[in-house]
Structure 1
Amino acid sequence: MRPIAADDLPCALVEVDADGRIQDANDLFVSWTGLSMAELQGRAFSSLRTSIPTVDARADGLIRLAHVDGSSRAVIVGRRETGAGELLTLVDATERAEHEQEMARSHALEERTRNRLELIIDSSIAFSAATNEQSLADILATTVAKAYQAEQSAVFLIDESGTFAQASGSNPLRSVEQTGSLVTQASQLRRVVALSGAAAADEIAPVLGQAMRDAGVHAVLVAPIQHDDVLFGLFAAFFLHPRQFDSEAAPLADALAGQAAQTITTLRLQRQLEHAAMHDETTGLPNRRRLETQLVEYQSSTSTLVATLFIDLDGFKRVNDALGHHTGDLLLREVGLRLQAAVRQEDLVARYGGDEFVVVCEVPEVAAAEDVADRIRHSIEQPFQDIPEGFPISASIGMSIARTQDPAWNPDRLIREADHAMYSAKNAGGNRVVGAPVA
């Protein structure tokens, strides 16, 4: 008769010797392993078990018993010493193991959620410190790589021509065509795209799948940077190792992209407000405030002389009164363009107010300033397309010149002297240049 004959018990029984080798077992244990009793005898019990990671450190009696078909069963093991070894009692603990695993998954999810929430908060603080779109792109590229533990990440922003340009980060794709395929597909989908393996990329675009194979990229995550249906660009995380994405990957990408989009919106609004504060609405030229600010900067110029030309339009009031303010605004815009075309790109052209403009330029000698003034006067007296015959327009120009090394340099005095010279030109009949003495 076998030492263990309790086959009607709801638990498995195993007798092991002092070395932990199986000597006998009941039928339930035999069925749980899928081995015959002859195969079990003399086999180390430890070869049939696998530990189960658990949240509760006290659950050290919970193991997983292997079956020959590759499956396993969670059991709780009780031990009682016998004269020759131990008698092991194994109770099915499938429900408990599932609970423990669920607890472990829940704990891991909670930890990931906490870490990602901290990341979102930290990124929000970092984004708020960005002073321009370039610094924002740098912060975003670093944040994305850290958030997803990606080997490489890149940020692509839409430039003024409406095309994507890499603003920050590194891009492992080897050609412009391959990168273009990625950004085009992602921007068209307008949602987070997570691709695990080149085969997944093939389903979107074969060229994209090939790009991943060529670059040794195993996975890609791409998110559009958009706000109120306005697309600013996208970011991409590149993985040079196999990577599967969990259910939180896309929401995290959405959160980061959303924060970046909000920051870009704020930066552009600030830039617009700053531009509006320093530029004339009608002509787009720097306004009086910007003029006074930039005039101070000329004090550190390496040139010997700085010329200030104060320009007043002869005949403008008649155009405004007879043809209306809309035509007058068109005239002012065209005058602004002609002034810019008549001087160098680095020279300052500003609208002072009404029909008055100011040009500031560095010159090597007084004659050069006079040449600029004459060029402007001849440009203004040419016919204007939107102004009918009988409404001639010309310019009265006052000029003041200052030495940049003069300790008494005063921007207000330069404009005032040029203004007084302009009135002298106007009182003399207009359409002429009058210069003030060199300061």
Structure 2
Amino acid sequence: MRAVPADEFPCALARLDAAGNLLEANELFLAWTGLDRESLPGRPAAAFVDASTWDGSDLGVLRHTDGSRRHVLVTRSRSADGELVALMDASARAAYEGELTQSWALQERTRVRLELVIEASIAFSAASSEADLSRILAGTTARAYQAEQSAVFLRDEQDAFRLVAGTDPLQGAIDTQAVLSRFADTGRVQTVSGVGAARAISPALADAFVAGGVHSILVAPIRHDDVRFGVFVCYFLHPRQFDSEAAPLADALAGQAAQIATSLRLQHQLEQAAMHDEVTGLPNRRRLEAHLLEYPTEVDLDRGGSAIAALFIDLDGFKTVNDEYGHHAGDQLLNEVGVRIRHAVRQQDFVSRYGGDEFVVVCEVPDSGSAHDIAERIRTAIDQPFAGLPPTLPIRASIGLAVAGDRDRGWNPDGLIRLADHAMYTAKNAGGNRIVQLSAV
């Protein structure tokens, strides 16, 4: 075999024997490996060049004695007694391929993220309530992050976090309210990887991690504009580190859920407005009609009552209040009457404003006598003085009472209301401030 060419060649050259051991090398090879000429002979080439290079790959890695590495292009020329190896610096090519790989990985993560966001958007749009939305969000985030457990906490009317969907392995091991408030108040996605990171936040959190078998968590606030709905939390029972894509994905999922929650709340408010009286806040006539459809056409003794009673209430003296004191005073009076009726009936009784100065109460009772007792409590409550009205202008109630008992098969809810209405007019024509009862037939 020819001797190793001159050192002026722009590549590292080395001559190997038939066993793959180094015999000679030029200065560039020595510089790239950190070897010297005296210690070179007899060293296996595989100790300095990755074995894959000798398996036919043209791109390999040359190792220096100090541990550093250099990407090289390898050319080999074999003969009977050994081979000549030429190595050219491929650092630029390796860097370019690394950038391509990173770019591809980023594109793949972006594609997966977009698919998740699109799938979540479709799933969220099918939610019919905040509880339903929370269940979908908990399942979606668990799959998105491959978390063993995921939970959604929504703020209630007292601004406390309430577990609505999913499971919380830290429950009972820590003050959930304090921890979630601390994370949610930052307004951004936060991650905690490992017990050590948890201890840096709070020793109690670290202890809860240990008690719950949790290694890491991801917490994302669910908010839209200034409305803070709550948070979702992913729990990892295995070692988990978070890359730069974790927070943006959580933001996207939480943001979509918050938009749907905003729509659901607006829809609920519109439904409430359509079904409730603006002055008293009571269910209106439309809601009453829907409520009556919930009753069976035959009274069910298992519902805790053997009769259904309708109380039709009309105020005596209300027109005078409107005429002499104005509609504002009339609205205040109606609101106060609604409050008094609610306090006079039982919690399970249905109270509605039928229209004008008329109210309707529907209740299930064991007998007609119990219904009469409820009507009397209402009459007595309304008969008390009203603030702002003189004693010379008393407000009283004419109450019509209709009862459908367990013998009234196939009774008609609309017919029951009409009968109570008829009984009310009978009471009013008899001088008012009294109860007249009729039975359904």
What CA distance in whole angstroms lies between the structure 2 residues aligned with 1:335 and 1:152? 50
1:247 aligns to 2:249 (yes or no): no
- Indicate conservation of the 8 Å contact 1:181/1:207, yes or no: no
1:370 to 1:186, Cα distance in 2 relative to 1, 3 A: same
Q: Which residue of 2 is the match for residue 369 of structure 1?
A: 371
- Indicate conservation of the 8 Å contact 2:160/2:177, yes or no: no
How big is the shift at 1:23? 3.1
Q: Which residue of 1 is the match for residue 44 of structure 2?
A: 44
Deviations 1:193-223 (A, max 9, x none): 2334455455555544554455454433221
Residue 172 of structure 1 aligns with an amino acid whose one-letter code is P
Q: Which residue of 2 is the match for residue 55 of structure 1?
A: none
What CA distance in whole angstroms lies between the structure 2 residues aligned with 1:161 and 1:31? 72
How big is the shift at 1:320? 1.8
Higher alpha-carbon deviation: 287-296 or 143-152: 143-152
1:415 to 1:237, Cα distance in 2 relative to 1, 3 A: same
What CA distance in whole angstroms lies between the structure 2 residues aligned with 1:238 and 1:424? 67
Q: Which residue of 2 is the match for residue 236 of structure 1?
A: 233
How big is the shift at 1:341? 1.9
RMSD: 2.4
Residue in structure 1 matching 2:58, options 61, 65, 73? 61
What CA distance in whole angstroms lies between the structure 1 residues aligned with 2:162 and 2:106? 36
How big is the shift at 1:311? 0.5
Q: How does 1:376-415 map to 2 (within 5 A)?
A: 376-403=378-405, 406-415=408-417
Gaps of 5+ in 1: 53-58
Classify the secondary structure of the residue corresponding to 1:189. coil
How big is the shift at 1:37? 4.5
Higher alpha-carbon deviation: 135-144 or 291-300: 291-300
Q: How does 1:250-399 map to 2 (within 5 A)?
A: 250-299=247-296, 301-303=299-301, 304-399=306-401
- Indicate conservation of the 8 Å contact 1:178/1:208, yes or no: no
How big is the shift at 1:356? 0.3
Classify the secondary structure of the residue corresponding to 1:299. coil
Classify the secondary structure of the residue corresponding to 1:344. coil
Residue in structure 1 matching 2:182, options 170, 179, 185? 185
Classify the secondary structure of the residue corresponding to 1:117. helix
What CA distance in whole angstroms lies between the structure 2 residues aligned with 1:194 and 1:51? 41
Gaps of 5+ in 2: none
Classify the secondary structure of the residue corresponding to 1:298. coil
- Indicate conservation of the 8 Å contact 2:18/2:80, yes or no: no
Residue 276 of structure 1 aligns with an amino acid whose one-letter code is A
Q: Which residue of 2 is the match for residue 6 of structure 1?
A: 6
What CA distance in whole angstroms lies between the structure 2 residues aligned with 1:180 and 1:370? 48
Q: Which residue of 2 is the match for residue 152 of structure 1?
A: 149
The total of aligned residue pairs comes to 433
1:226 aligns to 2:226 (yes or no): no
What CA distance in whole angstroms lies between the structure 1 residues aligned with 2:316 and 2:171? 61
- Indicate conservation of the 8 Å contact 1:51/1:62, yes or no: no
Higher alpha-carbon deviation: 80-89 or 307-316: 80-89
Structure-1-length-normalised TM-score: 0.91
Q: Which residue of 1 is the match for residue 168 of structure 2?
A: 171
- Indicate conservation of the 8 Å contact 2:174/2:205, yes or no: no
What CA distance in whole angstroms lies between the structure 2 residues aligned with 1:23 and 1:406? 112
How big is the shift at 1:392? 0.8
Deviations 1:166-219 (A, max 9, x none): 222232335464533431221221112233445545555554455445545443
Deviations 1:223-245 (A, max 9, x none): 11111121111112233344333
- Indicate conservation of the 8 Å contact 2:4/2:25, yes or no: yes
How big is the shift at 1:266? 0.7
Higher alpha-carbon deviation: 278-287 or 105-114: 278-287
1:6 to 1:218, Cα distance in 2 relative to 1, 3 A: farther
- Indicate conservation of the 8 Å contact 2:403/2:416, yes or no: yes
- Indicate conservation of the 8 Å contact 2:16/2:84, yes or no: yes
Deviations 1:139-167 (A, max 9, x none): 11122222222233222110111111222
Q: Which residue of 2 is the match for residue 17 of structure 1?
A: 17
What CA distance in whole angstroms lies between the structure 2 residues aligned with 1:51 and 1:215? 46
Classify the secondary structure of the residue corresponding to 1:69. coil
Structure-2-length-normalised TM-score: 0.91
Classify the secondary structure of the residue corresponding to 1:70. coil
Higher alpha-carbon deviation: 404-413 or 82-91: 404-413
1:182 to 1:62, Cα distance in 2 relative to 1, 3 A: farther
1:35 to 1:208, Cα distance in 2 relative to 1, 3 A: farther
- Indicate conservation of the 8 Å contact 1:157/1:233, yes or no: yes
Residue 357 of structure 1 aligns with an amino acid whose one-letter code is F
Higher alpha-carbon deviation: 165-174 or 63-72: 165-174
1:132 aligns to 2:129 (yes or no): yes
